[in-house]
Structure 1
Amino acid sequence: MEKKIKVILLLLVVLAVAGVATHMFLTPSTVETVGSKNVTDMIGRDIEIPASVSNVVATSPPMTTVLYMIAPDKLKAVNFQWTDDEMKYVPSQYQNYPVVGGWYGTQDGSYEEFIASEPDIVIESIDEGGDGDSSTVNERQEKFGTIPVIAVKDTTNVEKVSESITFMGEIVGAQDKAKELNDFNQKYLDIVHDRSSKLSDSDKVKVYYAQGDDGLQTTPSHSTHGQLIDLIGGENVADSVAQGNTTGGVQVSIEQVLSWNPDKIITNDPEFYAKVYSDSNWGKLDAVKNKEVYLSPQSPFKWFDRPVGANMIIGVPWTAKILYPDDYKDINMVDTTKEFYSNFYHFDLSDNQAKEILLDSGLKESNL
């Protein structure tokens, strides 16, 4: 009898061990994904989110851009469709994100489509001050139900974006990539801060930012859209028509632009760029006569504007090379472009591809 009891006990132990092993080895994903953590967002809301965030969407392009740069495999939707040109340097695995709209200039977001992308969290942009957007964040949270909405400070200013990039990296588990992006940005900010601070008023080049297919919309200084001109130390010729408007664009006439006669012109519009050198009116400008018109590279995000945000980080050295080529000869834009695209756009450019991007933007080969 005693021997039988020992055998039964031994069998029970074996079965128990086998049961634990079966649980460990047959259901690893369940064991690993169970759990949550509490975080405080950037307007002080305490929120419970999954311990490991795998799927994330954002309600505006600047936030989506950061997510694409630091955690593209966790991004599950974008706010607008890339054009064929913008798609040129997007890896194939990222070319088919669903388009869910958003709440920014177009206000075309679809809660149903956002929810259908099955995000673990939703990133919502707030103004730098934060408090004024708490009602919007609360409204989003109500509409998204149990999906946590995380408020993150506006990332549209390249000089102030680091805190938000760091925070988003912590939220989505991409701390190292977020630090790498901030380090790249700070490197060039330090360079241009130092050199622009030494410019006298007489040293500053006059710059016109041409928007629209006719080039006759622009933005004055202190606008997020033309911020790189200010940062590098250019003189934005449109200041005289600002009239307190530092956010939206202003309409001007060709006569007004002729009276300013800028040294350099920067544009985001390929249609305008394609015809500016053959237009007799624009041809009267020194910038056109001297072949000093530049088109922001477009792919996969524009370097200079539209959207404003972390995509403009690579635009800092590019704009510096345009405005003051002699002061920035030590920056190799081919190497800089390859580094940025490889690390943050997840696409390895050849030397020739990097040169093509830069030459197509108007930079001279001697200034690469």
Structure 2
Amino acid sequence: MEKKVKVIILILILLVCLGLATHLFLTPSSVKSGNHENVTDMINRSVEIPSEVDNVVATSPPMTTVLYMIAPDKLKAVNFQWTEGELKYVPGQYANYPVVGGWYGTQDGSYEEFIAAEPDVVIESIDEGGDGDLSTVDERQEKFGTIPVIAVKDTTNVEKVGESISFIGKVVGAEDKANQLNDFNNKYLDIVHDRSSKLSDGDRKTVYYAYGDDGLQTSPSHSTHGQLIDLIGGKNVADSLNQGNTTSGVQVSIEQIIKWNPDIIITNNQNFYDNVYNNSNWAHIKAVQNKEVYVSPQSPFKWFDRPVGANMIIGVPWTAKVIYPEDYKDIDMVDATKEFYSEFYHIDLSDDDAKDILLGSGLKESNL
């Protein structure tokens, strides 16, 4: 009898140990201890952070955008100054974040101003597979001292952004909101993946992406900046200029654009859009003649580009409606816009508000 009891006790001990080991195996990214926990960031660094993160800043706009979308009350500074037009769509409580710059195109970040924002953690963007990430993060950590720096994969690819959104959500305690944002993105990605895969080469419309006041800079296919054209199945006329995943624009001439003669022109430059229909240099291009020039909605973040990141999630259905309106009649852009702004930009739009944004982008009312 005593032997049986010992066997039972031994079995119970083994089961407890097995359960503990299983728990640790299934949750490798964080280990809590008191008021702090260790997280493994996205370049496999172990970083000790507070168990409750209440204040956070990011070193680049794409990361800041994600934080604004899923945890605006925890965001304590931004990298850029909102324009007056953008502030129209920013609730008052978020309109006056301190501007601390950052380390991206302009490289104008101020360590002193970041530290003055008193963040619990700093989110550092890293290029997936890029060189020098660890040394850059180590440099940031040295400059920020005891403030933990967490490396997160770059969120510039709208098809891959989900992993980083989920990770940031976990760090700042906004997992439900992160999941909601990913669900919205995946809904429209699934739709456009299915429909674009069925396009024959002859069905694909030609698209020119114009930026700059004169519209004479562009991004070829397979660049982050023109990615929504590729995603929807448009044929980027600048494909022959492909220089890889370039972050800078390619200069072209009006003569080259006339030769390409695109079906559709998309821009994120309001000045170019406001003037293109009255510019004789563009008058003989098919897209201009057919009133098929569109400008990405701008506020509070651009839907198509600049920056590339989670702000482009709402740009997926918009670009689909721009290029192939007949194929996407079942998408109600008024409802999609209202949902996105309410849930992720924290401002409720009326039907008329949403229509103003969409009609201002060049969409026809019959295609909303």
Give the stretch that moved more between structures: 237-246 or 185-194: 237-246
Distance in 2 of aligned mates of 1:195 and 1:277: 31
The residue aligned with 1:88 is 88
Distance in 1 of aligned mates of 2:104 and 2:348: 31
1:272 maps to amino acid: F
The residue aligned with 2:103 is 103
CA contact (8 A) 2:207 2:264 kept: yes
Distance in 2 of aligned mates of 1:263 and 1:202: 13
How far did residue 132 of structure 1 move? 3.4
How high is the TM-score relative to the length of structure 2?
0.90
Q: Residue 294 of structure 2: SS of its match in structure 1?
A: strand
2:351 maps to amino acid: D
CA deviation vs aligned residue, 1:108-143 (integer Å, no higher than 9, x gap): 000000000000000000011266300000000000
Q: Residue 224 of structure 1: SS of its match in structure 2?
A: coil
How far did residue 298 of structure 1 move? 0.4
Structure with higher Rg: it is 1
Are residues 243 and 310 of structure 1, via their aligned partners in 2, closer, same or farther at CA, if it must alter by over 3 Å?
closer
How high is the TM-score relative to the length of structure 1?
0.90
Residue correspondence of structure 1 range 63-78 to structure 2 within 5 A = 63-78=63-78
Report runs of 4+ in structure 1 exceeding 6 Å deviation.
none
Residue correspondence of structure 1 range 169-248 to structure 2 within 5 A = 169-244=169-244, 246-248=246-248
The residue aligned with 2:366 is 366
Q: Which runs of 5+ in 2 are unaligned?
A: 1-33
How far did residue 36 of structure 1 move? 0.9
The residue aligned with 1:268 is 268
How far did residue 154 of structure 1 move? 0.5
Residue correspondence of structure 1 range 1-368 to structure 2 within 5 A = 35-129=35-129, 132-244=132-244, 246-368=246-368
How far did residue 245 of structure 1 move? 6.5
How far did residue 247 of structure 1 move? 3.5
CA RMSD of aligned residues (A): 1.0
Q: Which runs of 5+ in 1 are unaligned?
A: 1-33
2:233 maps to amino acid: G
Are residues 245 and 177 of structure 1, via their aligned partners in 2, closer, same or farther at CA, if it must alter by over 3 Å?
closer
CA contact (8 A) 1:196 1:232 kept: yes
The residue aligned with 1:25 is none
How far did residue 191 of structure 1 move? 0.2
Q: Residue 72 of structure 2: SS of its match in structure 1?
A: coil
How far did residue 87 of structure 1 move? 1.1
Distance in 2 of aligned mates of 1:249 and 1:212: 9
Distance in 2 of aligned mates of 1:48 and 1:240: 48
CA deviation vs aligned residue, 1:38-88 (integer Å, no higher than 9, x gap): 111001111110110000000000000000000000000000001111111
CA deviation vs aligned residue, 1:160-186 (integer Å, no higher than 9, x gap): 000000000000000000000000000
Are residues 137 and 88 of structure 1, via their aligned partners in 2, closer, same or farther at CA, if it must alter by over 3 Å?
same
Give the stretch that moved more between structures: 354-363 or 78-87: 78-87
CA deviation vs aligned residue, 1:333-357 (integer Å, no higher than 9, x gap): 0000000000000000000000000
Distance in 2 of aligned mates of 1:93 and 1:365: 33
Q: Residue 202 of structure 2: SS of its match in structure 1?
A: helix
Q: Residue 284 of structure 1: SS of its match in structure 2?
A: coil
Identity %: 80
Distance in 1 of aligned mates of 2:67 and 2:139: 23
Distance in 2 of aligned mates of 1:174 and 1:130: 28
Distance in 2 of aligned mates of 1:75 and 1:66: 10
1:190 maps to amino acid: D
CA contact (8 A) 1:277 1:288 kept: yes
